Protein backbone atom coordinates (compact mmCIF):
# COMPACT_ATOMS: atom_id res chain seq x y z
CA UNK A 1 0.00 0.00 0.00
CA UNK A 2 0.98 3.67 0.06
CA UNK A 3 0.01 5.40 3.29
CA UNK A 4 2.62 8.13 3.59
CA UNK A 5 4.47 10.41 1.20
CA UNK A 6 6.31 13.73 1.01
CA UNK A 7 5.94 16.70 -1.32
CA UNK A 8 8.22 19.69 -1.00
CA UNK A 9 8.63 20.82 -4.62
CA UNK A 10 7.36 24.33 -5.27
CA UNK A 11 4.09 25.09 -7.07
CA UNK A 12 6.02 26.67 -9.95
CA UNK A 13 7.95 23.43 -10.49
CA UNK A 14 4.77 21.35 -10.54
CA UNK A 15 3.08 23.74 -12.97
CA UNK A 16 6.15 23.65 -15.20
CA UNK A 17 6.23 19.84 -15.36
CA UNK A 18 2.55 19.70 -16.33
CA UNK A 19 2.64 22.57 -18.81
CA UNK A 20 0.33 24.72 -16.67
CA UNK A 21 0.53 28.47 -17.16
CA UNK A 22 2.17 30.06 -14.08
CA UNK A 23 -0.68 30.86 -11.70
CA UNK A 24 1.10 33.31 -9.44
CA UNK A 25 -0.78 31.80 -6.50
CA UNK A 26 0.80 31.20 -3.10
CA UNK A 27 3.46 28.52 -3.06
CA UNK A 28 2.84 25.05 -1.62
CA UNK A 29 3.96 24.56 1.97
CA UNK A 30 6.69 21.88 2.01
CA UNK A 31 5.33 18.70 3.58
CA UNK A 32 7.56 15.73 4.38
CA UNK A 33 5.01 13.50 6.07
CA UNK A 34 1.62 13.58 4.33
CA UNK A 35 -0.90 11.17 5.84
CA UNK A 36 -4.42 10.01 4.98
CA UNK A 37 -7.19 12.25 6.29
CA UNK A 38 -5.51 15.54 5.38
CA UNK A 39 -6.11 18.00 2.55
CA UNK A 40 -3.33 18.00 0.00
CA UNK A 41 -2.78 19.00 -3.62
CA UNK A 42 -3.93 16.91 -6.57
CA UNK A 43 -4.05 17.62 -10.31
CA UNK A 44 -7.16 16.86 -12.37
CA UNK A 45 -8.58 17.99 -15.69
CA UNK A 46 -10.63 21.16 -15.97
CA UNK A 47 -11.92 22.25 -19.37
CA UNK A 48 -9.45 19.85 -20.98
CA UNK A 49 -6.41 21.22 -19.15
CA UNK A 50 -4.60 20.18 -15.94
CA UNK A 51 -5.57 22.19 -12.86
CA UNK A 52 -4.42 22.00 -9.23
CA UNK A 53 -6.87 21.56 -6.33
CA UNK A 54 -6.73 20.76 -2.59
CA UNK A 55 -8.56 17.45 -1.97
CA UNK A 56 -8.91 15.21 1.07
CA UNK A 57 -6.97 11.94 1.05
CA UNK A 58 -9.45 9.13 1.69
CA UNK A 59 -12.14 8.48 -0.91
CA UNK A 60 -15.79 9.23 -0.14
CA UNK A 61 -17.93 7.96 -3.05
CA UNK A 62 -20.60 10.27 -4.43
CA UNK A 63 -23.28 7.72 -3.50
CA UNK A 64 -22.25 7.50 0.18
CA UNK A 65 -25.07 8.26 2.63
CA UNK A 66 -22.74 9.61 5.29
CA UNK A 67 -19.09 10.62 4.72
CA UNK A 68 -18.30 9.85 8.35
CA UNK A 69 -19.39 6.24 8.03
CA UNK A 70 -18.26 3.35 5.88
CA UNK A 71 -14.96 2.59 4.22
CA UNK A 72 -12.85 5.55 3.03
CA UNK A 73 -10.10 3.85 1.00
CA UNK A 74 -6.76 5.64 0.82
CA UNK A 75 -5.47 3.07 -1.69
CA UNK A 76 -6.95 1.10 -4.60
CA UNK A 77 -5.35 -1.80 -6.47
CA UNK A 78 -4.76 -0.73 -10.06
CA UNK A 79 -5.22 -4.29 -11.33
CA UNK A 80 -8.85 -4.52 -10.19
CA UNK A 81 -10.17 -0.97 -10.64
CA UNK A 82 -12.01 -1.65 -13.91
CA UNK A 83 -14.08 -4.38 -12.24
CA UNK A 84 -14.47 -2.97 -8.73
CA UNK A 85 -17.94 -1.40 -8.18
CA UNK A 86 -16.50 1.52 -6.18
CA UNK A 87 -13.77 2.38 -8.69
CA UNK A 88 -14.81 1.34 -12.22
CA UNK A 89 -16.49 4.67 -13.03
CA UNK A 90 -13.67 6.69 -11.45
CA UNK A 91 -10.85 4.94 -13.32
CA UNK A 92 -12.59 5.80 -16.58
CA UNK A 93 -13.67 9.36 -15.85
CA UNK A 94 -12.08 10.78 -12.68
CA UNK A 95 -8.35 10.17 -12.66
CA UNK A 96 -5.89 12.54 -11.04
CA UNK A 97 -2.17 13.05 -10.52
CA UNK A 98 -0.74 13.52 -7.04
CA UNK A 99 2.53 15.51 -6.88
CA UNK A 100 5.18 13.83 -4.72
CA UNK A 101 8.90 13.90 -4.06
CA UNK A 102 9.08 10.64 -2.14
CA UNK A 103 6.96 8.00 -0.49
CA UNK A 104 7.60 5.84 2.56
CA UNK A 105 7.25 2.13 3.14
CA UNK A 106 8.14 -0.01 6.14
CA UNK A 107 10.38 -3.06 5.83
CA UNK A 108 10.24 -5.92 8.32
CA UNK A 109 13.66 -6.41 9.92
CA UNK A 110 15.11 -8.20 12.95
CA UNK A 111 14.67 -5.03 15.00
CA UNK A 112 11.13 -4.36 13.85
CA UNK A 113 9.66 -2.34 11.00
CA UNK A 114 12.17 0.08 9.49
CA UNK A 115 10.88 3.04 7.44
CA UNK A 116 12.37 3.57 3.98
CA UNK A 117 12.24 6.64 1.80
CA UNK A 118 11.72 5.81 -1.88
CA UNK A 119 12.30 8.52 -4.47
CA UNK A 120 13.85 9.31 -7.84
CA UNK A 121 17.62 8.92 -8.21
CA UNK A 122 17.90 12.49 -9.52
CA UNK A 123 15.68 13.74 -6.64
CA UNK A 124 13.09 15.10 -9.08
CA UNK A 125 9.37 15.24 -8.22
CA UNK A 126 6.99 12.68 -9.72
CA UNK A 127 3.25 12.12 -10.00
CA UNK A 128 1.29 9.29 -8.41
CA UNK A 129 -1.82 8.13 -10.22
CA UNK A 130 -5.05 8.44 -8.29
CA UNK A 131 -8.82 8.76 -8.61
CA UNK A 132 -11.12 11.43 -7.20
CA UNK A 133 -14.79 11.83 -6.41
CA UNK A 134 -17.15 14.46 -5.00
CA UNK A 135 -19.84 13.85 -2.41
CA UNK A 136 -22.89 16.16 -2.56
CA UNK A 137 -21.70 17.94 -5.68
CA UNK A 138 -22.87 21.54 -6.15
CA UNK A 139 -24.08 21.71 -2.54
CA UNK A 140 -22.59 23.72 0.37
CA UNK A 141 -21.28 20.62 2.11
CA UNK A 142 -19.64 19.20 -1.06
CA UNK A 143 -16.62 17.06 -0.17
CA UNK A 144 -13.82 16.43 -2.70
CA UNK A 145 -11.67 13.38 -1.98
CA UNK A 146 -9.15 11.09 -3.67
CA UNK A 147 -7.46 7.72 -3.37
CA UNK A 148 -3.99 6.55 -4.42
CA UNK A 149 -3.60 3.73 -6.93
CA UNK A 150 -1.07 1.01 -6.19
CA UNK A 151 0.53 -1.63 -8.37
CA UNK A 152 3.03 -4.46 -8.21
CA UNK A 153 6.50 -3.32 -7.11
CA UNK A 154 9.49 -2.74 -9.33
CA UNK A 155 12.95 -4.13 -8.47
CA UNK A 156 13.69 -1.25 -6.10
CA UNK A 157 10.38 -1.19 -4.25
CA UNK A 158 10.17 -4.96 -3.86
CA UNK A 159 13.19 -4.89 -1.54
CA UNK A 160 10.97 -3.02 0.94
CA UNK A 161 7.32 -3.87 0.23
CA UNK A 162 5.12 -5.99 -2.04
CA UNK A 163 3.19 -2.98 -3.39
CA UNK A 164 4.10 0.48 -4.65
CA UNK A 165 2.14 3.55 -5.72
CA UNK A 166 1.33 3.81 -9.40
CA UNK A 167 3.80 6.41 -10.69
CA UNK A 168 2.69 7.84 -14.02
CA UNK A 169 5.44 8.48 -16.56
CA UNK A 170 5.71 11.99 -18.11
CA UNK A 171 4.72 10.72 -21.56
CA UNK A 172 1.39 9.60 -20.09
CA UNK A 173 0.36 12.68 -18.09
CA UNK A 174 -1.98 14.05 -20.75
CA UNK A 175 -3.60 10.68 -21.47
CA UNK A 176 -4.08 9.99 -17.78
CA UNK A 177 -5.94 13.25 -17.20
CA UNK A 178 -7.99 13.06 -20.41
CA UNK A 179 -11.57 12.22 -19.42
CA UNK A 180 -12.34 11.24 -23.01
CA UNK A 181 -9.75 8.47 -22.77
CA UNK A 182 -11.43 5.74 -20.71
CA UNK A 183 -8.88 2.98 -21.32
CA UNK A 184 -5.58 3.49 -19.46
CA UNK A 185 -4.85 -0.15 -18.72
CA UNK A 186 -1.42 0.07 -20.36
CA UNK A 187 -0.41 2.80 -17.88
CA UNK A 188 -1.24 0.64 -14.86
CA UNK A 189 2.28 -0.76 -14.55
CA UNK A 190 5.27 -0.38 -12.20
CA UNK A 191 7.55 2.59 -12.82
CA UNK A 192 11.01 1.64 -14.22
CA UNK A 193 13.31 0.70 -11.35
CA UNK A 194 16.47 2.19 -12.85
CA UNK A 195 15.26 5.70 -12.04
CA UNK A 196 14.54 5.07 -8.36
CA UNK A 197 16.31 4.53 -5.06
CA UNK A 198 15.26 3.32 -1.58
CA UNK A 199 17.09 3.90 1.70
CA UNK A 200 16.30 3.66 5.45
CA UNK A 201 15.27 6.78 7.34
CA UNK A 202 14.52 7.79 10.92
CA UNK A 203 11.64 6.20 12.80
CA UNK A 204 10.53 9.74 13.51
CA UNK A 205 8.49 9.43 10.33
CA UNK A 206 6.23 6.99 12.20
CA UNK A 207 4.67 9.94 14.02
CA UNK A 208 2.58 12.14 11.67
CA UNK A 209 3.32 15.11 13.93
CA UNK A 210 6.93 15.05 12.73
CA UNK A 211 7.22 16.94 9.46
CA UNK A 212 10.64 18.29 8.52
CA UNK A 213 13.47 17.74 6.06
CA UNK A 214 15.38 15.50 8.48
CA UNK A 215 12.82 12.76 7.82
CA UNK A 216 14.33 12.08 4.38
CA UNK A 217 17.96 11.92 5.54
CA UNK A 218 19.51 8.41 5.27
CA UNK A 219 19.87 6.42 8.49
CA UNK A 220 22.13 3.43 9.17
CA UNK A 221 20.23 0.13 9.35
With a CB cutoff of 8 Å and minimum separation 6, the contacts of 19 are 50
Active site residue 102: no
- Which candidate in 15, 102, 105, 117 is catalytic? 105
Active site residue 15: no
Give the count of alpha carbons within 13 A of 111, CB side only.
5
- Which pairing describes strands 31-34 and 5-7: parallel, antiparallel, or unpaired? antiparallel
Alpha helices in the chain (DSSP H): 11-18, 88-93, 173-177
- Which candidate in 2, 96, 102, 117 is catalytic? 2
Give the count of alpha carbons within 13 A of 142, CB side only.
8
Q: For residue 77, count CB atoms less than 10 angstroms from its CB and return exposed for 0-12, middle for 13-18, buried for 19 or more.
A: middle
With a CB cutoff of 8 Å and minimum separation 6, the contacts of 215 are 6, 32, 33, 117, 201, 202, 204, 205
Question: Which string of DSSP letters, residue by residue, matches 70-83?
Answer: S---SEEEGGGTTT
**Residues annotated catalytic, as ranges:** 2, 105
Amino acid sequence: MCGRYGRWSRRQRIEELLGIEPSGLDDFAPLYNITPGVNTWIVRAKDGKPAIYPYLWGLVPYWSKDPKKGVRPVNAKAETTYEHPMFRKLIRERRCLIPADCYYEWKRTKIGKTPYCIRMVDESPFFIGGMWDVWHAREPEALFTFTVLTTLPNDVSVTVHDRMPLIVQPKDYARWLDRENADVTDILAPYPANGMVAYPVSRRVNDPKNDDAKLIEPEPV
